[in-house]
Structure 1
Amino acid sequence: MNIGTITQNASGTYTGKISTLTVAIVIALRTVHSANPRAPKFEILALSAARQWVQVGALFELSSNSTGETFLNGKIEDPSLDKPLYISAFRQEDGSYNIVWSRPTRRRDAPTDTVAADDGLPPLPGAG
């Protein structure tokens, strides 16, 4: 679901807006300069009510396994949010980015912490 856009202004700074039913923020991206290949490409800054830039997240550059297309992926976290806002940013032909929200999916292969329910049934044959 597209929730915003980022464009590059005349001074070269990427700025944009994210809007949902509960979130309306002005953001800017600050390039991260690092020799670490696992470092984020950008820090996400949000404009506070006091009109100060506050770091609220980071975007990492990834490549699609199927197309090889590069995109940005990360999250916005702030004490004012109930949960992190997971976003991806896809570059458009005009150089802008579309910001897309996605609900995190649970990994199928991740172990789950489940406790057997005491439902009064006997154990299954051959189990245990």
Structure 2
Amino acid sequence: MHRVSQICGDDVEEFRPERWLDCEDPGTLRRFFFAFGGGTRTCIGRSKPYARPVQVAIAYLMNEKDMLKDISWLEIEKIVPTLVMRYNFKLADGSRLTEECGVLVLLKGLRVQVTRLAD
């Protein structure tokens, strides 16, 4: 797996995980990254590693540096109430919410304007 030199480079036999970070075309590597499977049989945890940058951004936004120490802070019962207490969320002008139904309901076009509440 992941040993195609045209995609992963000439050093495919070397353990070099940073190849996924410092490539010129990350979209190509992502398309050929099969550690989580693909298609309809994709692992449900596939997005977990990609969530880390979002976690870091939210932690800094909320000024909660301690959250960066443990990945388990993503528990909804803590994050959502904290965000609602500190920020005002309003549907952005011109935003039209549409739904795509399947096994899960996907919301598209949800643009939100976020402003910090006064302390």
TM surpasses 0.5? no
Interval containing the TM-score (normalised by the shorter chain):
under 0.3
Question: What is the TM-score with the length of structure 1 in the denominator?
Answer: 0.21
Q: Which has the larger radius of gyration?
A: 1
Which has the larger helix fraction? 2
Q: TM-score, normalization: structure 2? A: 0.22
